[in-house]
Every structure is written in structure tokens, then in C-alpha cells.
A and B are shown apart, each in its own frame.
Chain A
Amino acid sequence: MTLELKGITKRFGALTANDHIDLEVNAGEIHCLLGENGAGKSTLMNVLYGLYQADEGQILLDGEVQHFSGPGDAMRAGIGMVHQHFMLIPVFTVAENVLLGHEKALGGLSGAKQKVREISDRFGFHIDPDAKIEDLPVGVQQRVEIIKALSQDAKVLVFDEPTAVLTPRETDELMAIMQQLRDEGTAIVFITHKLREVRAIADRITVIRLGKVVGEASREDSSNELASMMVGRAVELTVQKSPPVLTDNIVEIRGLTVLDAIGQKVVNDVSFDVRGGEVLCIAGVQGNGQTELTEAIIGMQPRTTGSIKLNGLELQGKSVREVLDSGVGFVPEDRTVDGLVGDFTIAENLMLDRYRGEPFVRVGSIDRAVRDEFATEKLDAFDIRAQGIDTHVGTLSGGNQQKVVLARELGRPLSLFVASQPTRGLDVGSIEFVHSQVIASRDAGIPVIVVSTELDEVVGLADRIAVMYRGGVVGVVPADTSRDTLGLMMAGEPPAAAPADPTDPSEGAAA
């Protein structure tokens, strides 16, 4: 089956998410759709899948124009989708999830179980049709998504950012599956922004940027060429920084363990030190405990054991309020959810964690004059582009929102600065600004911890790198460790007797 998209255009209000996009996929080939986040890849695929209706353009299957009014139509036409956020019902079994929506066609639950076993055997998935989804690991859940699509005899399979939640090894396994599917004659659309994966399995590559097709590329093109097509500029992200000047400030983390709601050790016996004047970057694939680690430092994780000593002061077991009061600045991973109150003004957000006592509060009342003065000053100092301090933060762009968070967190005296994914979803200019602030904090002589899943950012910012894998720290290595080694570490392989860093020999033991 050949799938053609012709001139697909999709607008959301003033934003044109897809601008006359053409795409063609043939049976037995893997067509990669490469682009930055926000380039419009997922929108395009949701149009294809009938979740969105295109404003202009046509979808053709084997030359015939299709009209999808909903995902059901797309499915019947032979299009299957493996969603980035799995469309599985957690309390249902595998078979029930496969059955849903196709009760007649599959012949009831027994038919669905049969189908699951059949497909599972074909690809060596070993999936129990009666297992509940919520009991399955992420990688297995993804396979259920694939089974779901295949159970509908999909001729065109769309994989939307399928590797975001996978470890390198699971990624390799997934790619093998995709290749097997291709060899069986399935047309595959593979949406990603990861160049390595593209170059490994793509038969054709289409690059899109800002909603438009930039051009086709070949897998033989170098990563640099692909990347520049994707981002439209020479990829260069160097962080200007001088050698670290270490100070006496120190945060010492020993045996930190965090349990999640169902008792899993999401952070498992983590120990490391960070000295004042250095940046420790925590690298790793998303979901390996980084989020929980930073939340444990800030006091957000109730089921934490171990020790976090900041300049000799024990932070573990303290409330968030006490941790903040002891001079910890924290940039949370998801600023819109954890960092800001969207319905509050910039001025209110800038005093969000200083709602008690001087300078902002007097006898229980908020001193608006002081608040506004502070906000005006920060608006200027951090170059927050907004109409004024009374603008609601929810209406700001991501970059400006992040600047509000930084202005607030760096606006009080700090003894430790923790930033989790501080540049996620930001434009280049804002990324540079954030990086310069991180380095400025380090140069002010306080310990800085930055969590990032972007290896480039890690290498650029870090003075030392800790890699996390499944809740544990695989190792703490110098910033100039080779990317191959770091990649192996992210898959859980300890560094091959790499000399741990000279400042603190105890850290090697954490691996």
C-alpha cells in the first residue's frame, strides 16, 4: 500500500502547524519524519490518523483520496499508530485493550486473546494476553501498542517518537521489530528527532521545520548535515565558561533512596558530592530517577531515606519550606506544572515562594509596592519580554516563563542551585540565556546540579557528570568522558575502571 499526503495544511488559530506538507510512503519502506519538537510532526500524524481534520490537502491511499472523520476511518483504511503517549487503558488487560473498538471484527475476547498470542509469537514478544497493562513495564506496553495496530491489519504503521521512553537496548530491539515489519511489507512512518536512529534504519528521510518540509535527506548524510537541515542553523552550542573555582560550600548526598507510591525504588542508594563553584550534571535517559532525585533534594518526595547535607545541615526529612529557606534554588522540570501559577501575574509569580515575612509581607498583608518594585527590577534584569509585571504568566512564551522561574529562584541568596531540564522546549536564545545563568551561579561559588537528558547540554555545562540508570548512579565521571562511554553508562554499563574524579574519591563507589 502506498500512502501519499498532498499539501496538508493545519492551522491552530494563528499558528500554522503544518504548511502544505507532502509525504509519500511505500510498502516495505521506512520513511523517517525528522524534525525538532514543535516542528509539526505529531500534528501531521494526527491529521493522518483522523484525530485532526486538515484545513487543506489530501490523504491518498494507493491513489485514492481518503476522508477520515475520526481514527476509526483511518484504522479501517489500514493505518495504525503507535502513539507517543500510549493509548492503553491501564486497568484493562492486554486482550481487552486490543479488543476495544473492534469487538465484532476480532470475535470477542477469546478472539482478541488468540490474536494477541498470534502476533506476539510472530515477533517473539512473549506477552500474556491476560496481563493488566498497569502491571507491565513501559517497553512491554509499547509492544502492546504495536500489537493493537497490527491486530487491525495495518498496512501503514506510524511510530510517533517511540524511543523517547526507551533505554538504548530497548530502542535497538524496537528497531529490529520495525525492520521485520518492513520486510513483511508494511509501510512505516517513523517520527523522531534522534539522528542516530534515523541513520540506522531509514529508507527515506523527510525533514520538516516550523511546519514545512525542508527537504529530503539520505541516511548517508552526516549527522551534522541532518541536524542543520532540521534546525535551520549551524548546530553550535558551546557554553562560555572559565575553569571552576571551587569553594568550601558543599552538598553531600549519601545513600539517598526514594520509593514511589507503589513501593518501587525510583532512586536507589545514590551518593555523590557537589562542591561550590562546580556544575554536576546528571545525565540519563528520561525516567531513570532524575526527577525523583531532584524532588527528593527539594523535599517533595515523602518516602525518602538517606542523607542530604548542605554545608553540614541535614536537608533530608525537612519540608520544602525549610529546604528553600536554607538557601536552595530549584528550577523544576515542568515549569508550567511545577514552577509557575499561570493565572498569577509575573509579579505574583516572582514572590511565589516568599509569601511569608519580609520583604514582601507585612502583618499578614502583601506589600504590593515592594512586590511590584522587585518585579520591575527582575523584568529588566532577566530580559523578560512581557507587556508589564501584571501580565499573566500563562500567556508568556516558554522562554520568558523560564526566565521568570530563574529570576525568582536566583533572586534570593542561595547556597545550592538545582535545575531540572532547564532548557527543555526553549528556543536557542533562551537556552543560551539559561546556560549563562547556570554558569553565573556556579561562578558565584555555590554548588550547582543540573539534570538534563540532552547529552550536548550535559557535556557543555558540566564540570563533572553523574549518569543515572534505573534509579541508581552508574558512575560520576569527568566532563571530557567520551560520548561512547556516556552512552554505555546510560544503558547501565559502569565506566570501565575510569578514574573517578580527583576531588572526591568516594564517588566511584556509588556505581
Chain B
Amino acid sequence: MNDTPRDADDPIEPVERDRPGGSPDSGEQPTVVHAPQATAVTPVATAPGATDDRTVEDDDPWGSAFRRIMGGNLVMALLAIFASLVVGGILIAATDERVQAASGYFFARPGDMLGAIWDAVFGAYSALFQGSILNFSRPEAGFATMIKPLTDTLNFATPLIAAGLGVAIAFRVGLFNIGGRGQMLWAAAAAGWVGFSFQLPPVLHVLVAIAVGIVAGAIWGAVAGALKAFTGAHEVIVTIMLNFVALWFITWMLRTPGLLQNPASNNPISPPMPDSATLPSIFGPPFILHWGFVLSVAAVIFCSWLINRSSLGFQFRAVGYNKSAALNAGMDVKRLTVLAMAFAGGFMGLAGAQQVTGAVTTGFTSGIDAGIGFDGITVALLGGSTPWGTFFAGLLFGAFKAGGFRMQAAEGVPIDIILVVQSFIVLFIAAPPLVRAMFGLPQPGKKSRRQRRDEAALKAMTQQKGAQS
């Protein structure tokens, strides 16, 4: 695979080179000069005339899978959210009893059915809004009642943001952290254990508990990272399997007296957390928003520094984009893999610790993770795997959760609809062409099928070439 016309065994240049004496074989003894061990090489100032000035040859020669994840733009995100809410609306309408009843005589009085659909969907989404942002149904109850939903949103967003960071940072290193559940469980168990087993001064106690929780999550993450780094096991498989290992292990500890089980109970549940190990409410009752939210914001700021500004983050990103180049630059990819999973587990650990010290302080079960480990995946994807993107995506999904409870209570729409909407958002975000097609938008840089096919084949070939050489 020579790239120039000159052939390895083809004497196209028979002309003897003008070789002034002094080459090692010319008989003249070369002069030996002592040079410093390390020499700075200064570039020769040549300005070759024929330098290639073409800039773009291929719009995405590295074509990483993560570019798509991270390259989300706001408009696409908003469209995806809108489309998903429409899907959710269809489901709500379809299962509404009045709509079903009205559909029976649709051809007789179509207005009834349309009205019923409007009532069902508008009612549900209005409840969603009132449960998550602003409760304007009872303005006479005062400002606090009006904005309480907003603080509920922040409250629900708290662990989602932390868990989202746990997925996002792994993404940036090219790793999928599906192991949020296990990491959160260990963190919850560790933080909970510190909480109910020790007696420490109030503020210190909760901080120590959370710190221990973070460490526990980080260790469980690092186990997956180490398996990936040193045995080559795929981290997706490993983290999925470790989730269940953690689940059963914690379940066992929760039902074993002397370990995590509440001595006053026969159920697999831990003792309640003492007040000293509980995150207090920021604004006091009736607001349930606790100081864990501030910790999540701090985590976002830290993660932002870590990824964008720190030396470690530089290495993380280099590994995520191009592992070979990182290896060649002397980076210890194995160590970085373990570290990245440790950080990911640490953020998940924060989420788990927030659950036991903030959300559920009356004793936890093996369901303490509440699916947040998986929600973190959708949060990170919607947030484009950037820390602040994750923050806002966490707020959105927090709002869905807060509003979802009100929607269930007020309109009888099962809160599971939130999971459905969330999943659709991620699917749409991941496939921008689909969203564009749905909204009839032009595909940017749209190429004919044929062009795309050809380019992809070309790329597949060059990749092959890379793999072979």
C-alpha cells in the first residue's frame, strides 16, 4: 500500500545521486561531535510552495458513535420532546374511558369524541404542568403552594442529575455505564449503614454518609472498569450483570439480621436514618426539596471542570475519541478506564446516597434505586453527555416525575406514561433524520441514498484498511 508512484523495487531514477563524501560508507571518517543528550529540534524554515491547502476531505473521518450522542442540538431536542409528548397524548387518549365510550358513536357525533380526547389529553398535561412547575389551580392558597411543584421538580431532579452525570462521564470515555442500579444500591447500602450505625454531629454525619456512599459506588464502578481494562470484557455486559449481583447481595444483607436489616422488622428493610444523617429541607416545610440538590449542582460544576478543564478530563476525552492515539501519546488507557468507571460509579453513588439521606429516610429496601440508574441513561443522552446538558435534562425528567404523580392522582393516568415519553424522547434524539422526517424538515446536507451508500461503503473499506494495516 504505497501511496506514491515510486515503487519499492522499481528503479525509476537511475541517475546517480550527487553524494558528496562523508556518508558513512564513503570511506571518510565522519566527525563525531558530542551533543547534549536531549536536543531541541528547531524546525527548518521552509515554506514549500506546493503544500496541500485543501481543508476538508471527509466531513467525519473519525466517525465516532459518540459524536451523534453528543452532537445534539437544542431544536432537535425540543422537537423530540414535543413528538414524544404527542405519542404520550395518543396513549392517554386511547386509554381514556370517555374517549372509548365516545368512539362507539364516533360517526354519529364525532364532536363528542374529539372533545373527550381534548379533555383527556389537556387534563393530563395540565396536571403534569401543575404538578411540576406552577400550581395555579388554587391561587388563594398562597405563593408557597403555587411554587411548591417547582421545588418538587428540583427534588426529583436531584438524583436524576447525579445519575445522568454517572452515565455522561462514562460516555465521554467511550464507555456505557448501564450499571447505575448496582452502583446506586451499594452506595445506598453504604451511606445507609453509616447513617444508622454511627452517631456523629449533625452536618458531619450526613456528609460522611454521603462520602462513604460515593466511595462505595465508585468501587463498584471501578470493578466493572477493571474487568473491562484488564480482561477486555465488554462493559455493557459486565455492568448489567453486576447490577443483579449487587441487587441480590444487598437483598441478602437487608434480610439478614446484624447486617442491614432493621432489628424491629421481619421484612427486608433497613433501620430508618437518624436526623443527623438526613439531608435537611432547604426552605423548610412544606417544601421537601433538600440540600441534596445543592450537592447535585456542585457535582455538575465539578464534572464540568473535570471533563473540560482538567488534565484527567483531557485524557478521558482523548481515550473516548481515539483510544489508539491516546495510547500513542503515553496515556495509560487501562488506568483511565478504571478511573472513568470509578468516577461514573461515584456520581451514581451520589445519587444513591441522596436517595437514602434525602428521599427515603424511613429505611430502604432493595428498590431504593427506583430505576434512577436507568433513567440516568436517558438523562445523559438527552443532555448530549455534557454536564450542563445533563443538568437541564435532569430538570426536565424531574419535572415529568413530579408532574406524573399529580397526573396519576388527579387524572388517573398511570405514572408509567412518563417512562414511555422518556423512552421516546431518547429514541427520537438518537435518530435526528426520523424527527426531521416527522416534522417535514429538510435533511441537512441531504444526500441521495446512492451517495450515502457509496460514502459508507468507502468508509467501511478505509476502516477495513485501518484494521488490516
Contacts and interface: CB of A to CB of B under 8 A. Distances in A.
Q: Please indicate whether A and B come from the same complex rather than being unrelated chains.
A: yes
B137 interface: no
B322 A429 contact: no
Contacts of A334: 466, 469
Interface stretch (B49-57, B277-285, B337-345): B49-57
Contact of A164 (B1, B46, B457): B1
Interface stretch (B58-66, B74-82, B363-371): B58-66
Contact of B6 (A243, A426, A457): A457
Contact of B33 (A224, A277, A365, A432): A277
Among B50, B314, B458, B468, max chain A CB count under 10 A is at B314
A340 B311 CA distance: 17
Contact of A454 (B2, B315, B328): B2
Interface in B313-332: 314-315, 317-318, 321-322, 324-332
A455 B48 contact: no
Interface string B24-43: 11101011111111111111
A294 B424 CA distance: 49
A436 interface: yes
Interface string B1-37: 1111111111111000101111111101011111111
A344 B322 CA distance: 10
B413 to A, nearest CB: 43
Contacts of B67: 343
A243 B10 contact: no
Contact of B30 (A243, A298, A342, A343): A243
A177 interface: no
User: Chain B binding site: helix, strand, loop or mixed by DSSP?
Assistant: loop
A479 interface: yes
A285 B8 contact: yes
A100 interface: no
A91 to B, nearest CB: 15
Contact of B330 (A168, A286, A319, A361): A319
Interface residues of A, number: 137
Contact of B324 (A247, A291, A338, A343): A338
Given A248-B32, A334-B469, A415-B37, A432 B328 contact: no
A28 to B, nearest CB: 27
A432 B324 contact: no
A490 B8 CA distance: 9
A272 B57 CA distance: 40
Contacts of B12: 195, 223-224, 227, 235, 456
Among B21, B321, B457, B465, max chain A CB count under 10 A is at B321
Contacts of A490: 8-9
A321 B330 contact: yes
A179 interface: no
Contacts of B458: 12
Given A244-B23, A454-B4, A398 B37 contact: no
A264 to B, nearest CB: 16
A223 B466 contact: no
Contacts of B454: 10, 12, 51-53
B141 interface: no
B312 interface: yes
A327 interface: yes
B9 A168 contact: yes
A352 interface: yes
Contacts of A140: none
Contact of B11 (A341, A361, A399, A483): A483
Contacts of A457: 6
A445 B33 CA distance: 8
Contact of A249 (B13, B35, B53, B315): B35
A454 B6 contact: yes
B461 interface: yes
A404 to B, nearest CB: 12
A382 B43 contact: yes
A52 B464 contact: no
Contacts of B38: 327, 413-415
Nearest to B53: A385
Nearest to B454: A52
B416 interface: no
A311 B37 CA distance: 8
B5 A337 contact: no
Interface residues of B, number: 89
A348 B41 CA distance: 21
Contact of A37 (B2, B20, B33): B2
A85 B51 contact: no
A259 interface: no
A243 B2 CA distance: 28
Contact of B41 (A277, A398, A414): A414
B450 interface: yes
B197 to A, nearest CB: 34
A286 B1 CA distance: 7
A453 B39 contact: no
Contact of B22 (A243, A400, A487): A243
B24 A455 contact: no
A441 interface: yes
Interface in A364-421: 364-366, 381-383, 385-387, 394-400, 406-407, 410, 412-415, 417
A464 B30 CA distance: 13
B73 interface: no
B314 A366 contact: yes
Contacts of B41: 329, 410, 414, 417, 437, 440-441, 444, 446
B11 A501 contact: no
Contacts of B328: 298, 300, 320, 330, 332, 338-339, 353
Contacts of B330: 319-321, 323-325, 353
B455 interface: yes
A237 interface: yes
Nearest to B66: A343
A325 to B, nearest CB: 8
B50 A428 contact: yes
A432 B46 contact: yes
Contact of B24 (A249, A424, A487, A502): A502
A352 B51 contact: no
B168 to A, nearest CB: 16
Contact of B34 (A247, A285, A286, A414): A247
Contacts of A122: none
Contacts of A311: 37
B47 interface: yes
B310 interface: yes
A193 interface: yes
A355 B39 contact: no
Contacts of B4: 36-37, 193, 231, 423, 431, 454, 456
B312 A364 contact: yes
Among A164, A230, A340, max chain B CB count under 10 A is at A340
A419 to B, nearest CB: 12
Ranked 7 nearest A-B pairs via Cβ: A243-B22, A478-B25, A445-B35, A429-B50, A342-B62, A321-B330, A247-B35
16 contacts: A13-B59, A36-B5, A195-B12, A235-B12, A244-B22, A245-B33, A278-B24, A286-B1, A286-B2, A320-B331, A330-B328, A352-B325, A425-B3, A445-B35, A453-B2, A455-B7
Given A337-B324, A355-B315, 5 more contacts: A338-B324, A406-B43, A455-B7, A456-B12, A483-B9
Interface of A: 10, 12-13, 15, 36-38, 46, 51-53, 84-85, 161, 164-165, 168, 193-196, 223-224, 227, 230-231, 235, 237-238, 242-249, 276-278, 283, 285-286, 291, 298, 300, 311, 319-321, 323-325, 327, 329-330, 332-334, 336-344, 348, 352-353, 355-356, 361, 364-366, 381-383, 385-387, 394-400, 406-407, 410, 412-415, 417, 423-433, 436-437, 439-441, 444-446, 453-457, 459-460, 463-464, 478-480, 483-484, 486-487, 490, 501-503
Interface of B: 1-13, 17, 19-26, 28, 30-57, 59-62, 64, 67, 305, 309-312, 314-315, 317-318, 321-322, 324-332, 450-451, 454-455, 457-458, 461, 464-466, 468-469
